[in-house]
Amino acid sequence: MLAGTMTTLRGAEKVKHAVRQWIETNKPRQHDKFLSQRELAKLLKVDPMTAHKALNELTGEGILYRIKGKGSFIGLDPALNQGLRLAFVVPGSHLELPENNPDNWHIVQRTSASVMRTLQDNDSFSTIIIKPGQSNANDITRLSKYNAVIFSGYNEFIQLIEKLIAHNTTVIINGSNSQCPFGCIKLSPPLAEDVKIGISYLIERGYNRIAYIGSSSIEGDVKFSGYRQALDEYGIEFDEQLAVRGISHQSEGAKGAALLVNRQVKFDAIFADTDLKAVGIIEYLLQTGLKIPEAIGVMGFDGMEQCTGAPLYLTSVKPANDKIIKNAVDFIREKSQQSFDDIPIPHGQVIKNRTTK
């Protein structure tokens, strides 16, 4: 029974899981008629909109296809001129929401949005939840049907990625601090260069005591090297008192700003290695009575619309994520015979706003 495959998943993910389990267990023939939206909702005790969303996503994954006025059927639509089929593997549900994924929700959201903007009419894009270390043969079979499978990191899914590569499935690793095995595409903005662009922007606008607040991760080290390089290129001596490292969590921007202020060292601008940390920095500085940008300029990194738009209007460095992902998708679409290393990786740009002069 389809209803017997229920799990602790919620919403559309619960319905999709139940349908997949039923297909794997009962092995229906390709093009057999499937349940209607109303029948599926009633059987699994979910609302019709949840069933509708699940059917749409299963259609995008190639598990089902739909014919207007006739319903849903098993497998791929034989009448459809298939475009690219792309999948994004994530380790949990709703990771694009801050409350579920405090430090990396914006990466999941940004990756999905960048891929969606590259799609053409017949292309499809699915988000697939697989718990790290819990992939199985069915996952390999399902994912190997896609033209490319995207991961936001490598370490969580080492075995799955290596098995997909062994099945000649194109794997895209979208993450700057991740390893990348032979045979996959690694997409990473040139972080050091992008930070240099931001620091150069500040220096050219008259800031010469620029503090840095950021993490001590591998990615943080790369960004920090861009900060140091920019200072060197402009002949500005590096001052250790202006660097606050070890600020790892997105919610710790205010903590970093407090540590900097308590050092009682002069600074006229702060560069934060993420936009969300920059938000916390600004809130702390305003509480201390410092005006922005009149007294202190603040720049973030990520170019998040939630921060660069109203009401904050944060000045930020925006990596060229859309262009980078588009270049990779175009590479796959054209079935290029060139090396993955030949995919262009453009630099980011400064979004000029109200938190700097």
For residue 244, the model assigns a pLDDT of 98
Same domain, 223 and 260: yes
Same domain, 199 and 154: no
Same domain, 205 and 282: yes
* Residue with the larger pLDDT of the pair 317 and 96: 317
At CB < 8 A and 24+ separation, what contacts does 92-99 make? 92/129, 92/131, 93/9, 93/10, 93/11, 93/13, 93/129
Same domain, 90 and 68: no
The domain that contains 19 carries what CATH number?
Answer: 1.10.10.10
* Mean pLDDT across the chain: 89
What type of residue is 19?
Answer: V
CA 338 to each of CA 49, 73, 169, 179, 343: distance values in angstroms, whole numbers, following the listed order: 44, 38, 17, 21, 9
Is 337 contained in some domain? Answer: no
Same domain, 66 and 111: no
**What pLDDT digit, counting tens, does each position of 295-330 carry?**
999 999 999 999 999 888 999 999 999 999 999 999
The domain that contains 238 carries what CATH number?
Answer: 3.40.50.2300
Same domain, 288 and 213: yes
- Across the beta sheet with 185-187, what order do the strands follow? 124-129, 85-90, 148-151, 170-174, 185-187
Same domain, 178 and 196: no
Same domain, 57 and 125: no
**What pLDDT digit, counting tens, does each position of 192-210 carry?**
999 999 999 999 999 999 9
In degrees, to the nearest 5, what angle opens at C-alpha 131 toward C-alphas 126 and 132?
115
Is 137 contained in some domain? Answer: yes
Question: How many domains in the chain?
Answer: 3
Containing domain of residue 102, as a range? 85-187
The domain that contains 170 carries what CATH number?
Answer: 3.40.50
Same domain, 152 and 57: no
Is 24 contained in some domain? Answer: yes
User: Residue 88 carries which DSSP code?
Assistant: E
Is 173 contained in some domain? Answer: yes
Q: CA nearest 251: which of 274, 219, 222, 217? A: 274
Is 311 contained in some domain? Answer: yes
pLDDT band at 5 (very low <50, low <70, confident <90, very high): very low
Same domain, 174 and 261: no
Q: Is the pLDDT of residue 8 over 80?
A: no
Task: Name the least confident of 36-50, 72-86, 120-134, 231-245.
Answer: 72-86
Is 346 contained in some domain? Answer: no
Is 348 contained in some domain? Answer: no
Same domain, 259 and 302: yes
Statement: the pTM of the whole predicted model exceeds 0.95:
no
Same domain, 215 and 124: no
